[in-house]
């Protein structure tokens, strides 16, 4: 039995295998329709979600399985003070696999310590979001044809952006990848995210200026400044409009750039960009369902 | 100043001057009912001044955890009045409930029963990180 709390729980070979499976699901969906019949996925979402929860649920339904769970902490016994460990022990009685989102960092690790079924981290605070990273990797692979030898720009809230942390951790393992980290001083990536960059001699630069680095980028990964991660509203208000991507700012970008965003967006990507062929963030949301189907199959050890 | 030598117990030597009380609190020696001596600012040829703690009991605790506080400390195990072992504590791979995670976003900040566990990430830099949220440890 395996748990996925961090993207590093998967080797590069396993990620490649998941991408292959996801592509096969896209090409031959009928092969996969009944593979999880009589299996149940529990979605334990202590924090709001649209894409992650619905894509997990859609993934399980498309595999022929069923779904149970809760979409806010208030509708679970967490509201009565139940610990993560006790909730997990209980849910393991009813489900074959668990996807869990929690506002506190490390909660899925606690869940994994007590679970008798596989636990998938569906986002923990500002820490990790490995299935978003699988989504991002599938999108980049599908849209660029490779995951190596490219310059990836990450822009916005790099401090609390869990999708950013997991994506850097994953992509720094591919050869020839370099990062451009674009953020306000206050929202730079935490030191633990830089550990694999330094130990692997992965080139990266940090800047506050998106426009100056735009021509270098193969991938631009925009993120939202997340109100829910700030203890101080004033700090949020001061930083929330740090980067707004507009058609004018894209003029210096490469024609084969791809623009990704884990969504939801607020105003950091102008709606006018949605029609630009380089905007891939809604397609990215679709890829998320397929790669989660692949991951569920892998963790349940079900084969086509 | 006379302090009786101990028969069966532990002498923690070469503690940085002024740090004995931190170790006393850390090991919760105040809860013991055996004799415990704290010698502060003793003369030392190696260190100039040092602190020493003598515990007249064989504690059943992992003294290697002291390596997190100061790996230069010397631990002497005394049996029948004779020193039978002398060693420096090694940095343990895991330290549990010795320091607390200070990240207000960590799951340990809301779940009081969870052990605070830190993992050694970089031995050369004495760097520990929380096993849950990966925040860097600090005393």
Q: What is the ipTM of this complex?
A: 0.85
CA distance A233 to A160: 15
DSSP per-residue string spanning B3-17: -PPPSSEEEEEEEET
A207, pLDDT greater than 80? yes
Query: Confidence band (pLDDT; 50, 70, 90) for B26?
Result: confident
Contact at CB, B103 and A105, closer than 8 angstroms: yes
Query: Confidence band (pLDDT; 50, 70, 90) for B110?
Result: very high
CA distance A292 to A52: 9
Contact at CB, B133 and A191, closer than 8 angstroms: no
Residue-range domain boundaries for chain B: 9-87, 94-130
Domains for chain A: give ranges and CATH numbers. Answer: 7-129+288-299 (3.40.50.1370), 130-284 (3.40.50.1370)
Complete edge-to-edge strand list for the sheet that includes strand A97-102? A66-70, A40-45, A97-102, A119-124
Contact at CB, A106 and B130, closer than 8 angstroms: yes
- As beta bridge partners, residue A97 has A41
Helix axes A130-144, A12-27, angle to 10 degrees: 70
Over chain B, what is the mean pLDDT? 89
Rounded mean pLDDT of A53-58? Answer: 97
Contact at CB, B111 and A126, closer than 8 angstroms: no
- DSSP alpha helices (H): ranges in chain B? 20-26, 66-69
Rounded mean pLDDT of B112-133? Answer: 92
CA distance A6 to A170: 9
Task: Give residue A88's pLDDT.
Answer: 97
Nearest to B105 among A85, A125, A191 (CB): A125
Q: Which range is least confidently modeled, A73-77, B70-74, B79-83, B130-134? A: A73-77
Q: Does B104 touch chain A (CB under 8 A)?
A: yes
Structure tokens at A123: 């986002």
Task: Give residue B68's pLDDT.
Answer: 83
CB neighbour list of residue A250: distance below 8 Å, 6 or more residues apart: A214, A257, A273, A276, A278
Q: Does B115 touch chain A (CB under 8 A)?
A: no
| Nearest CA distance, A229 vs chain B (angstrom) | 9
Distance between start and end Cα atoms, chain B = 33
Nearest to B113 among A83, A125, A195 (CB): A83
Complete edge-to-edge strand list for the sheet that includes strand B82-87? B36-44, B48-55, B9-16, B74-79, B82-87
Yes or no: say if A178 and A204 are a contact pair by the CB < 8 Å rule.
yes
Contact at CB, B105 and A84, closer than 8 angstroms: no
> pLDDT (tens digit, 9 = 90+) per residue, A103-151?
999 999 999 999 999 999 999 998 999 999 999 999 999 999 999 999 9
Yes or no: say if A244 and A270 are a contact pair by the CB < 8 Å rule.
yes
Rounded mean pLDDT of A21-31? Answer: 97
CB < 8 Å & 24+ apart, contacts of B19-22: B19/B51, B19/B69, B19/B70, B20/B51, B20/B52, B20/B53, B22/B69
Nearest to A109 among B109, B132, B135 (CB): B132
Q: Does A118 touch chain B (CB under 8 A)?
A: no
A239, pLDDT greater than 80? no
CA distances, B88 to each of A11, B92, B127 (Å) = 37, 12, 18
Q: What percent of chain A has pLDDT over 90?
A: 82
CB neighbour list of residue B11: distance below 8 Å, 6 or more residues apart: B52, B53, B54, B55, B75, B76, B78, B83
> pLDDT (tens digit, 9 = 90+) per residue, A254-292?
999 999 999 999 889 999 999 999 999 999 999 999 999
Cβ atoms within 10 Å, residue B39: 16
Q: Are strands B82-87 and B74-79 parallel, antiparallel or unpaired?
A: antiparallel
- Element holding A65 (H helix, E strand): none
E strands along A83-118, which residues?
A: 97-102
Q: Residue A150: which of A73, A202, A81, A84 has the closest Cα?
A: A202
B139, pLDDT greater than 50? no
Task: Give residue B2's pLDDT.
Answer: 56
| A-chain residues near B131 (CB < 8 A) | 106, 109
DSSP per-residue string spanning A240-280: TTS--B-TTGGGGS-TT-EEE--S--SSSB-GGGGGSTTB-
| A-chain residues near B118 (CB < 8 A) | none
Q: Does A84 touch chain B (CB under 8 A)?
A: yes
Burial class (CB in 10 A: 0-12, 13-18, 19+), B111: middle
CA distance B42 to A67: 68
B69, pLDDT greater than 70? yes
Q: What percent of chain A has pLDDT over 70?
A: 99
Task: Give residue B1's pLDDT.
Answer: 52
Fold of B9-87: Alpha-Beta Plaits (3.30.70)
Q: What percent of chain B has pLDDT over 70?
A: 96
Yes or no: say if A122 and A129 are a contact pair by the CB < 8 Å rule.
yes
Radius of gyration of chain B (CA): 17
Task: Give residue A60's pLDDT.
Answer: 98
Over chain A, what is the mean pLDDT? 94
Task: Give residue A241's pLDDT.
Answer: 77
> pLDDT (tens digit, 9 = 90+) per residue, A157-204?
999 888 999 899 999 999 999 999 999 988 999 988 998 999 999 999
């Amino acid at each position: 039995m395996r748990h996925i709390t961090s993207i590093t729980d998967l080797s590069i070979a396993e990620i490649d295998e998941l991408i292959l499976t996801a592509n096969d699901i896209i090409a031959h969906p009928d092969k996969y329709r009944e593979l999880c019949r009589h299996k149940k996925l529990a979605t334990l979402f202590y924090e709001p979600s649209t894409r992650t929860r619905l894509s997990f649920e859609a993934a399980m339904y498309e595999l022929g399985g069923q779904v149970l769970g809760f979409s806010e902490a208030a509708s679970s016994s967490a509201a009565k003070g139940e610990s993560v460990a006790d909730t997990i022990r209980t849910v393991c009685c009813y489900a074959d696999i668990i996807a869990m989102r929690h506002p506190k960092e490390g909660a899925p690790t606690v869940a994994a310590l007590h679970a008798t079924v596989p636990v998938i981290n569906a986002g923990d605070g500002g820490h990790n979001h490995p299935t978003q990273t699988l989504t991002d990797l599938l999108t980049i692979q599908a849209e660029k044809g490779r995951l190596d030898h490219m310059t990836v720009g990450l822009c916005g809230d790099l401090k609390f952006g869990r999708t950013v942390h997991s994506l850097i951790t994953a992509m720094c393992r591919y050869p020839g990848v370099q990062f451009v980290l674009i953020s306000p001083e206050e929202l730079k990536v935490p030191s633990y995210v830089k550990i694999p960059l330094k130990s692997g001699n992965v080139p990266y630069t940090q800047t506050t200026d998106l426009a100056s680095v735009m021509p270098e980028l193969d991938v631009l990964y925009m993120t939202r400044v997340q109100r829910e991660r700030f203890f101080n509203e004033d700090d949020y208000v001061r930083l929330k409009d740090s980067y707004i991507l507009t058609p004018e700012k894209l003029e210096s970008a490469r024609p084969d750039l791809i623009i990704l965003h884990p969504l939801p967006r607020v105003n950091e990507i102008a709606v006018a960009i949605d029609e630009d062929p380089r905007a891939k963030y809604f397609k990215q949301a679709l890829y998320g369902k397929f790669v989660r189907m692949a991951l569920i199959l892998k963790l349940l050890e079900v084969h086509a | 100043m006379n302090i009786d030598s101990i028969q069966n117990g532990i002498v923690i030597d070469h503690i940085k001057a002024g740090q004995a009380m931190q170790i006393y609190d850390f090991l919760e020696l105040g809860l013991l009912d055996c004799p415990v001596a704290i010698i502060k600012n003793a003369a030392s040829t190696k260190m100039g001044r040092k602190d020493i703690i003598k515990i007249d009991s064989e504690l059943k605790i992992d003294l290697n955890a002291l390596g997190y506080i100061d790996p230069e400390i010397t631990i002497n195990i005394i049996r029948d009045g004779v020193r039978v072992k002398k060693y420096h504590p090694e940095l343990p791979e895991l330290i549990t409930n010795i320091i607390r995670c200070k990240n207000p976003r960590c799951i340990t900040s809301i779940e009081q029963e969870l052990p605070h566990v830190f993992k050694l990430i970089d031995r050369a830099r004495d760097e520990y990180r929380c096993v849950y949220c990966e925040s860097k440890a600090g005393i």
